[in-house]
Amino acid sequence: MLMDNAKIHKGEEMDVFYKNNGILPVFLPIYSSDLNPEEQIWRMVRRPLKNKVFKEKSEIREAFKSAFSKINNLAGLLGNWIKEFIPMDAYPYISSPYVSSSSLLPNIV
C-alpha cells in the first residue's frame, strides 16, 4: 500500500495491522506530493475546473464527470507509475499492481 509519511500510518500498532492483513506498506519520501499518484490524478482533474464559477451543484457534478472522463487509461497510468516507483522485489507481496479506474472515481452521481 502506497502512502505518505503521516505519523498515523506508522508505529508498532500499524506494523501489526499491516502484518495481520498482508499489507506491504510503501512510504513516499517526506514532502514529495509530486510522487503521489493520487495527487497527480487530482491535478489532472482540477486543471480544467480552475477559475470556473458554478451556480448549481449539478454543474459541479457534470464538470467533475467530464474532467474524469478525459483522463485516458487511468488504470494504465497508475500501473506504469507503480512499476516505476515500487521496487521489483516487492512485487511478490503485491497481489495486483494494477487498479480499476472505476474504483478511483468518486461517487458524484
pLDDT at 88: 59
Check residue 17 and give its pLDDT. 92
Q: Which of 50, 6, 51 minimizes the C-alpha distance to 29?
A: 6
**71 lies in which domain range?**
33-104
Q: pLDDT digits over 25-82, tens only?
A: 888 888 777 777 778 788 888 888 889 999 999 999 999 888 888 776 666 666 666 6
Decide if 13 is inside a domain.
no
Query: How many domains would you assign to the chain?
Result: 1
Termini Cα distance of the chain: 28
Q: Is the pLDDT of residue 101 over 80?
A: no
Instruction: Give the residue from 52, 47, 99, 88 showing the smallest Cα distance to 68.
Output: 47
Question: Could you tell me the pLDDT band of residue 9, with boundaries at 50, 70 and 90?
Answer: confident
Evaluate whether residue 27 is within a structural domain.
no
* pLDDT the model gives residue 29: 80
Rounded alpha-carbon distances, angstroms, from residue 53 to 6, 50, 107, 109: 34, 9, 22, 20
Q: 86 lies in a domain?
A: yes
Phi and psi for 26 in degrees, rounded to 5? -125, 115
